[in-house]
């Protein structure tokens, strides 16, 4: 979390900014010889009822004590209404009944405004917490999913080509180090994510040898962009998992990453057997969490800022993802 985010999440700073904003409004609206003194007086007067309502009365409405909350809310408004009338009467050395109605409306409006701000703020941060919790859950599902498939590859290679194991273990070590220790942030440098993909594809090249034509192309500047971690690997992993063996041509996997100004275009194409798997299998995979998680993470991390197109043809499977930063 950056320093700016820390300041934004600071409750004390949020409250100070709201009162400063109201102070500015009062200075612009109030017509008096000493606007600053009068504005400070108004702020000092409305602070207590607002905090009493937000901290003591409002929670009652969410704890099934609505009747008690309504009574206390009314008493809060009435008490500070009479207090305001007394202060204004002494200030102006007279009393008018319309003053009572005006003060009541003003106190009620200020309390409702403060309550609305608190509800909106609490709702926003609650959604943020739910969002972060779901992201953590999705990432917790994703890492074991990848590890499971990688260990399967390791087992298969150990049976038939044990001499390849040392290089494979080094690649696996780099992959696990990244997925376990460098993906804790909401966003990571794209350069690291690209390196992660390179290691994974190198691992698959060792496993497949000359059985498939594997290409990985990178265009643009990847050093100045960040991305949600472990996002692109889902599509690459899916391509190798469902790579088909064709009779007429060599099996292919093409991964292309193009970084432009404010955008990223990711393409992943692999050949498939026409009768090998169904569309539903491609979407879910054996564990049912691969592409589904990718879609959820995209919706959470890049709302209205991404396009995901998945196209299943007779002998190929194509994924195109466009991210707008």
pLDDT category at 169 given cuts 50, 70, 90 is confident
Residue with tokens 């007429």: 248
pLDDT tens-digit map of 178-229? 877 777 777 889 999 998 898 888 878 877 777 788 999 999 888 888 998 8
Whether 307 and 321 have beta carbons less than 8 Å apart is answered as yes
Least confident of 41-45, 113-117, 133-137, 265-269: 133-137
- Domain borders along the chain are 3-125, 161-324
Q: pTM of the prediction?
A: 0.59
Q: 3.30.565.10, 3.30.750.24, 3.40.50.2000, 3.40.50.720: which CATH number matches 161-324?
A: 3.30.565.10
Element counts in the chain: helices (H) and strands (E)? 11, 7
Q: Are strands 212-219 and 251-260 parallel, antiparallel or unpaired?
A: parallel
pLDDT category at 119 given cuts 50, 70, 90 is confident
Rounded distance, CA 235 to CA 42, Å? 59
pLDDT tens-digit map of 70-100? 899 899 888 988 888 877 766 566 666 677 7
pLDDT tens-digit map of 229-238? 888 988 998 8
pLDDT category at 280 given cuts 50, 70, 90 is very low
């Amino acid at each position: 979390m950056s320093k700016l985010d820390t300041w934004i999440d600071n409750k004390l700073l949020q409250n100070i900014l709201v009162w400063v904003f109201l102070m500015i409004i009062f200075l612009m609206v109030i017509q008096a010889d000493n606007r600053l003194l009068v504005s400070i007086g108004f702020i000092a007067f409305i602070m207590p009822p607002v905090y009493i309502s937000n901290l003591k009365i409002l929670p009652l409405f969410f704890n099934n004590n609505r009747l008690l909350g309504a009574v206390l809310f009314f008493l809060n408004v009435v008490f500070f209404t009479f207090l305001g009338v007394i202060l204004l009467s002494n200030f102006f050395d007279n009393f008018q009944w319309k003053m009572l109605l005006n003060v009541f409306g003003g106190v009620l409006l200020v309390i409702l405004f403060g309550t609305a701000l608190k509800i909106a703020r609490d709702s926003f941060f609650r959604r943020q917490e739910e969002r972060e919790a779901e992201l953590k859950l999705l990432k917790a599902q994703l890492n074991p999913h990848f590890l499971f498939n990688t260990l399967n590859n390791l087992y298969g290679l150990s049976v038939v080509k044990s001499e390849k194991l040392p290089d494979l273990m080094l690649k696996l070590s780099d992959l696990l180090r990244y997925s376990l220790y460098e993906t804790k942030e909401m966003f990571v440098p794209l350069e690291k994510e690209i390196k992660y993909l390179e290691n994974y594809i190198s691992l698959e090249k060792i496993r497949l040898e000359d059985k498939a034509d594997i290409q990985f192309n990178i265009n643009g500047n990847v050093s100045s962009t960040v991305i949600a971690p472990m996002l692109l690997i889902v599509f690459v992993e899916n391509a190798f998992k469902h790579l088909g063996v064709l009779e007429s041509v060599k099996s292919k996997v093409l991964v292309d990453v193009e970084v432009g100004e404010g955008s990223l275009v990711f393409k992943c194409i692999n050949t498939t057997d026409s009768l090998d798997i169904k569309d539903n299998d491609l979407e879910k995979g054996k564990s049912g969490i691969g592409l589904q998680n990718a879609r959820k993470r995209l919706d959470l991390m890049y709302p209205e800022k991404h396009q995901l197109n998945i196209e299943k043809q007779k002998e190929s499977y194509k994924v195109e993802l466009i991210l707008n930063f």
